[in-house]
Amino acid sequence: MDMRWKKISDAVVRRLPLYLRVLDDLARNKDAKLISSHELGDRAGVGPALVRKDLAWFGEFGKQGVGYEIEYLRLELRKILNLEGVINVALVGVGSLGAALTRFHIRKFDEDDSFNLKICALFDEDPEKHGQVHDGVTVHSSADMAEVVRAQNIEMAIITVPAGDAQDVAQRLVDAGIRAILNFAPTKITVPDGVQLATADLSLELQRLAYYLQDE
């Protein structure tokens, strides 16, 4: 990572995938070569000044009065976001959600050239599941986590265990060398500095929606 990027805030980093998605769509349709910061902002749901400011952190990608070259900016954003090589991913907790996400991700990896996250190991505490193969991926004992993570060069993990087990699992993943975790367990977990955490907390979103369904 470029040293200058160190000071870039997470709010900026969170918007980069939005821009990339717009550029991916445009590149697929091949209907234009250039895009203005106004249009890119409109499609991404971000103001044009913020688009220009966000991208300026990483280089001079646009020309005043002309806009951005779609294919060039798209490839640069893919580099910036570390989407060029395959990233190996482990999933912990092979229940109904874990098995479902495995299937979904394996298919996405096979079908979508721009998706570079590959689930290559599953972990579960239940001995009856050890050795099972889901969509080509083997279930290991959580006791072998450090060894499997090292052997398969795994960098990222998805947690789909029950809430009560999530913090323990996160700690074991960190101990095994994992530096980025996506947590689906419906609970707050903490990780040390230097480890990135993202949450996909569906039940919180659903409860928020329920609130708004009340009769007025």
Sites of contact with a second copy (CB under 8 A): 1, 10, 13-14, 16-18, 20-21, 25, 43-45, 80-83, 87, 96-97, 99-101, 103-104, 107, 115-117, 155-156, 163, 179-182, 186-188, 196, 198-200, 202-216
Please report how close the Cβ of residue 76 comes to a second copy at its closest, in angstroms.
Answer: 13
- By beta-carbon proximity to a second copy, the closer residue of 72 and 109 is 109
Helix axes 10-29, 70-80, angle to 10 degrees: 140
CB of 124 closer than 8 Å to CB of 160: no
Residue 188 CB coordination number (10 Å): 12
- By beta-carbon proximity to a second copy, the closer residue of 48 and 141 is 48
> Nearest 5 degrees, angle CA 97-CA 85-CA 57?
100
- By beta-carbon proximity to a second copy, the closer residue of 108 and 141 is 108
Please report how close the Cβ of residue 145 comes to a second copy at its closest, in angstroms.
Answer: 18
Please report how close the Cβ of residue 44 comes to a second copy at its closest, in angstroms.
Answer: 7
187 vs 35: CA distance, rounded Å: 41
- By beta-carbon proximity to a second copy, the closer residue of 64 and 96 is 96
> Nearest 5 degrees, angle CA 208-CA 209-CA 213?
120
127 vs 181: CA distance, rounded Å: 24
CB of 165 closer than 8 Å to CB of 150: no
- By beta-carbon proximity to a second copy, the closer residue of 49 and 198 is 198
Please report how close the Cβ of residue 82 comes to a second copy at its closest, in angstroms.
Answer: 5
Please report how close the Cβ of residue 172 comes to a second copy at its closest, in angstroms.
Answer: 18
